A and B are shown apart, each in its own frame.
Chain A
Amino acid sequence: MTRHTSETDLALYASGDLPVWRKLATAWHVRGCEECHGLVETFRLDREGLHQAADRLPEDILPVDWDQLSAEMTANIHVGLAAGECVTPRAPKVEALAWWRPAAAAAGILVLVAGAWWLNVPRSDTETIAHALQSLFTGQRSTIAQTAPQEDRGPMVGASSAGIELVENGGRMKIEQSGLQPVMYSVSTQGSASTRWVDEDTAQVTITAVYVQ
Chain B
Amino acid sequence: MAAVLVCSAYGQSLNHKIDLPKDSPVGLLSADFGNSNVIARGGANQIEVNASLSLRNSSQKRIRSMTLMVYAQDGAAGGKGSVAVPTLDAAPGESFSIGIKTLLVRPLASGTPAVEVKLDGVLFDDLSFYGPDTLHSQRTMTVWELEAQRDRKYFKNLLETAGAEALGKEMLASLARQGDRSRMGVQMVRGRATNVEADKEFQFASLDIPESPIELSNGLARVAGNEARAPRFDIRNRSNRTVQHLEIGWLVKGQQGREFQAASVPGDVKLAPNQSGQMTQDATLRFDRPLAIESMSAFVASVEFADGTQWVPSRSAINQPRLRQVVEPSPEEQHLSQIYNKKGLQALIAELKKF
Contact = CB atoms under 8 A, between A and B. Distances in A.
Contact of B263 (A116, A186, A205): A186
Contacts of B9: 119
Contacts of B76: 169-171
Interface string A177-190: 11000011111111
Given A174-B102, A208-B83, A211-B81, A187 B41 contact: no
Given A145-B193, A204-B87, A208-B82, A120 B41 contact: yes
B321 interface: no
A99 B334 CA distance: 64
Nearest to A210: B81
Most chain-A Cβ atoms within 10 A of its Cβ — which of B87, B189, B285? B189
Given A158-B188, A188-B263, A145 B194 contact: yes
Most chain A CB within a 10 A radius of its CB, from B80, B135, B250 = B80
Nearest to B230: A189
A185 B263 CA distance: 9
B105 A205 contact: no
Interface string A185-204: 11111110100101011011
Contacts, number: 213
A183 B333 CA distance: 12
A145 B80 contact: no
Contacts of B183: 161, 184-185
A122 B195 contact: no
A25 interface: no
Contact of B41 (A121, A155, A190, A200): A121
A175 B188 contact: no
Chain B interface: which size bin?
35 or more
B265 A189 contact: yes
Given A156-B188, A157-B187, A193-B188, A183 B99 contact: no
B334 A160 contact: no
Contacts of B72: 171, 173
B8 A205 contact: no
A172 B263 contact: no
A109 B183 CA distance: 43
A158 B79 CA distance: 13
B195 A200 contact: no
B195 A144 contact: yes
Contact of A196 (B80, B103, B195, B331): B331
A187 B285 contact: yes
B106 A171 contact: yes
Contacts of A112: 1-2, 5
Interface residues of A, number: 59
Nearest to B99: A206
A149 B8 CA distance: 24
B197 A155 contact: no
A115 B342 contact: no
Interface string B177-202: 01000010111111101111100000
A145 B227 contact: yes
A210 B42 CA distance: 24
A9 interface: no
B189 A171 contact: no
Contacts of B263: 186-189
Nearest to A159: B186
A154 B190 contact: yes
B339 interface: yes
24 contacts: A116-B5, A119-B8, A143-B225, A144-B194, A145-B189, A148-B194, A154-B189, A168-B79, A171-B72, A171-B76, A171-B104, A173-B102, A176-B103, A185-B183, A193-B188, A198-B338, A203-B338, A204-B85, A205-B87, A205-B332, A205-B334, A207-B83, A210-B82, A212-B79
Interface of B: 1-2, 5, 8-9, 41-42, 44, 46, 72, 76-88, 98-99, 101-107, 135, 178, 183, 185-191, 193-197, 225, 227, 231, 250, 261-267, 281, 283, 285-286, 288, 328, 331-332, 334-336, 338-339, 342
Interface of A: 112, 115-116, 119-122, 141, 143-145, 148, 153-162, 166, 168-178, 183-191, 193, 196, 198, 200-201, 203-213
**Which 3 pairs from chain A and chain B are nearest by CB?**
A160-B185, A172-B105, A171-B78
